[in-house]
Amino acid sequence: MKKICLSNPDKVITVRECFENYIIKCTVRNLSASTIVCYKDHYRIFEQYIGGQQQLISNINEETINGFILYLRTRCSDITINSYLRSIRAFLNYASENEYIKPFLIPFIKADKKIKETYSDEELKVLLKKPNIKTCNFTEYKTWVFSNYLLATGNRISSALNVRIRDLDFDNSLIQINKSKNRKAQIIPLSSSLVSILKEYLSYRKGSDEDYVFCNTYGDIADIRTYQEMLARYNKKRGVTKTSAHLYRHTFAKKWILNGGDIFRLQKLLGHSDLTVVKEYVNLFSKDLSTGFDQFNPLDSLGLYNNNKKIKFN
């Protein structure tokens, strides 16, 4: 016996048809292209698990999701599984709201938090050593500038590649970020070192106010993957095996915390809507926070105790 759409008894709707309707709604809501691509990628694996596009949406239930989680556990980490569940849960919430399925709870699984990898000081010194402008090609120089930009701002690579020359306010040392993960524009400070680097870079790069600071060969907005590969080649050439652009964001957060920066400003600089992720940074880098602990600890800083003195009892 075929299951039917709960809101329309005369229509049988497959999981694929329901998902296509959901994507149309996501597009109308103006979700970012990267978010929609992520939904599609995660759905493709979900469709493979349930046995193809002809499965009826009304057949999907809590047991289906439990089986999907076990299926993913043989292929992904716990954190990745939760990423899949986040996408599928949003889709099934849509199906429930439209009465294609009966509502049921889809909780995330418990996942261990891993230490976020960062660049060491030694690696940063290698990566940020300025190339000889007279002998290097422009790509190497541009990658050096881009590396400095990522470390100095903590921007996501997608935000960095959307910065136009007009967004750089050298007079007031500010950058306007128009593309962020939460879709909110923000203005962040420009460090004095980065001001000097960008001014020199733009004297070579040229371009009008509407042009992107970091563009592709034709002056258009650059592809994220292209710049990731460019960074990977640059790092490998300099003997650094780590290659992720996002490591600069983690390193920015770590350095900010270790240098005594407050977490509320860090939240704003990173563009997070709340302190949840920033608190994770503090917890994950707690081992590094032990550096110089005695110097700043209120009891030790009083200098009342000398650990070298032996205590004698009568």
2 φ/ψ sector (left φ>0, alpha ψ -120 to 50, else beta): beta
- Helix (H) / strand (E) element for 20: namely helix 15-28
Q: Which amino acid is at 96?
A: S
Q: Where along the chain do its domains lie?
A: 15-97, 121-290
- Residue 85 CA to chain centroid, in angstroms? 18
Judged by average pLDDT, the poorest of 22-36, 78-92, 138-152, 287-301 is: 287-301
CB 147 within 8 A of CB 119: no
Q: What is the pLDDT of residue 7?
A: 47
**How does pLDDT run across 23-48, given as a tens digit for each residue?**
999 999 988 888 899 999 999 999 99
Question: Hey, what CATH class is 15-97 in?
Answer: mainly alpha
Q: Rounded distance, CA 19 to CA 21, Å?
A: 5
> Using CA of residue 26, residue 29, residue 35, residue 37, what is the dihedral sign?
positive
pLDDT digits (tens, 9 = 90+) for 126-141: 999 999 989 999 999 9
What is the pTM assigned to this prediction?
A: 0.69
Count other Cβ atoms within 10 Å, centred on residue 118: 20
Q: Tell me, which fold does domain 121-290 have in CATH?
A: hpI Integrase; Chain A (1.10.443)
Measured at the CA of 202, the angle between CA 201 and CA 203, to 5 degrees, comes to 90
**Cα torsion through 207, 208, 212, 215, rounded to 10:** -30
Dihedral (CA of 287, 118, 162, 86) sign: negative
